[in-house]
Amino acid sequence: MAKVVKLKSGLNLCLAGAAAPKVEKTVVSDTVAIVPDNYHGVVPKVVVKPGDKVQVGTSVMYDKNHPEVQFVSPVSGEVVAVERGERRKVMKIVIKSDGKSDAVVFDKASSAVEVKELLLRAGMWAYIKQRPYDVIADPTVEPRDIFVTAFDNAPLAPAYAYEMLNGDDAKALAEGLAALKLLTQGKVYVGVAAGSELNVPAGVEVVAFKGNFPACNAGVQAHNIAPVNKGETIWTLNALDVVVMGRLLLNGRVDMMRTVAVTGSEVATPAYVRALPGTPMADLLAGNIIAGDYTRRVISGNVLTGTNVSLDGYLGAYHSQVTVIPEGNDTHEFLGWALPGCKALTTSRTFLSRWIPTRNSKPDARLHGGERAIIMSEEYDRVFPMDILPEYLVKAIIAFDIDRMEQLGIYEVAPEDFAACEFVDTSKLPLQQIVRDGLDALRKEMN
């Protein structure tokens, strides 16, 4: 029986637009895009040009800091564009699919060295992130432990048990976990929701978590199992990405297809679909947005940690969820915050909805206030399930006090761990961006 960790702090938002547990269709798009900004910290070097033919698994770019870390095409076809922005920054690589799914065949791997080389060459290494700094793992550093999260309790999040245990994905997950066990002399932990059952290979430890978001974050799970200290490195992964690794190990071919939850109050029929990362949002949401003449926000991911991509954007490399909500920029409420707010989505006692919660809240993307000085009210502590002082850590990051940041646990956190804090913050600070900037500055300073 798995050990159960109970977390008292957290945030539970009940929003309208949850997906029904049934795959409606497979979204097949004419084009897909590899967007380097999906991979934070990577300095991309493009190795293809428009007109080049590619197969599934063909390398299209690599990281200049670690040339062995490759990024590959999810489809076979032709490179039609390599778009650049200011100072020749690579914005996206667009590939037109030929619908044939011709794939590069990789050799099977059995030893730790072979597994690492396979994951690097086949573009799977990008799924492995490290603490500290929350960036793609340094392949030259062996982790103390590896933490895999196998559930998601963010707003309208996909149901992992439904996604992973269908068909051959359960076998792929087990194969991926067994391979990860070869890459560390420490332990591989898998975090599941309390009450869930998951079969894992020998040597892999399952830990159950009971609590609200962000209990699903691998960093939160690591903190409550075996925290990372200065000088140590741990790896964190999402179980759905481990499934993709397992397919490669079992079949010798790259298969990035995943189940995506299309959710949100502006979606006509919330449902699960099958799609590749890099699929255009316009194709994912075609004919499935409620008619209206107001602006919508299209998010790759969930409403707390996702990326605002618009209909012209693409499904993120790490995302298995799409959320559509009203933008709210054309909403003008009489008296604003002075109204009783019976339907307002809030955690404060200012509105009646705090005492009469609804399970079908339809929030928009408005900030409801302006940025102001940070208030030491301990409001972060109510939603932050880590033994860290989040308000003091944020202040230390803003001041870039390295010693203080280290003392307060900067090496354990990632921006997503502060998403709930950002939601309840009366100071309206962009906490996730502050933490990201602090981690980047610290990494630059230490390296």
Q: Which one, of 89, 94, 95, 96, lies nearest residue 44 by Cα? A: 89
Q: Exposed/middle/buried for 152, CB within 10 Å: 0-12, 13-18, 19+?
A: buried
Residue 6: other Cβ atoms inside 10 A: 12
Q: Work out the angle between the directed axes of helices 169-182 and 239-251 (0-180°, nearest 10).
A: 90
Q: Which pLDDT belongs to residue 328? A: 86
Q: Which one, of 282, 274, 268, lies nearest residue 314 by Cα? A: 282
User: pLDDT digits over 13-26, tens only?
Assistant: 889 999 988 888 99
Q: Which pLDDT belongs to residue 346? A: 67
Q: Which pLDDT belongs to residue 208? A: 97
SS (H, E, C) 286-324: CCCECCCCCCEEEEECCCCCCEECCCCCECCCCCCEEEE
Q: Which pLDDT belongs to residue 357? A: 59
- In 154-233, which ranges are E strands? 188-193, 204-210
Q: Which pLDDT belongs to residue 161? A: 72
Residue 211, both tokens: 């609590």
Residues of the chain with pLDDT under 70: 1, 163-166, 332-344, 346-359
User: pLDDT digits over 9-67, tens only?
Assistant: 999 988 999 998 888 899 999 999 999 999 999 999 999 999 999 999 999 999 999 99
Q: Which pLDDT belongs to residue 14? A: 87
Q: Which pLDDT belongs to residue 355? A: 59
What gap in Å lies between CA 407 and CA 402, rounded to an integer? 9
Q: What is the pTM of this model?
A: 0.95
Q: Which pLDDT belongs to residue 443? A: 96
Q: Which pLDDT belongs to residue 330? A: 79
